[in-house]
């Protein structure tokens, strides 16, 4: 994460990379990641992008994805990667 990053430059991709940067910097090994609300979506995307960095994850009160069947989405989010 660059200290000079301006607010308008912050993206979900940057946040995912920041999480992985912190995990590597502190030599955390596999982590358990927790996300609430929009952070739950971010946590799910982190698991998708960095599956070997995650021991487990918890998501709470995430937004409902109306375009997807909720059961299909739940199975996808809970399936091992």
β-strand partners of 34: 58
pLDDT(7) > 70 = no
Q: What is the pTM of this model?
A: 0.68
How confident is the model over 8-40, as pLDDT tens digits?
A: 567 888 899 999 999 999 999 999 999 998 888
How confident is the model over 36-77, as pLDDT tens digits?
A: 988 888 898 899 899 999 999 999 988 765 555 665 666 666
Residue 11 has phi, psi (to 5 degrees) of: -130, 165
Give the model's pLDDT for residue 2. Answer: 58
Residue 18 has phi, psi (to 5 degrees) of: -65, -40
């Amino acid at each position: 994460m660059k200290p000079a990053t301006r607010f308008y430059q912050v993206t979900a991709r940057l946040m995912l990379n920041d999480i992985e940067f912190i995990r590597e910097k502190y030599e955390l090994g596999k982590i358990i990641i927790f996300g609430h609300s929009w952070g739950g979506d971010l946590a799910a995307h982190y698991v998708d992008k960095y599956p070997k960095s995650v021991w487990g994850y918890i998501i709470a009160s995430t937004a409902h994805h109306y375009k997807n069947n909720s059961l299909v989405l739940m199975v996808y989010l809970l399936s091992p990667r």
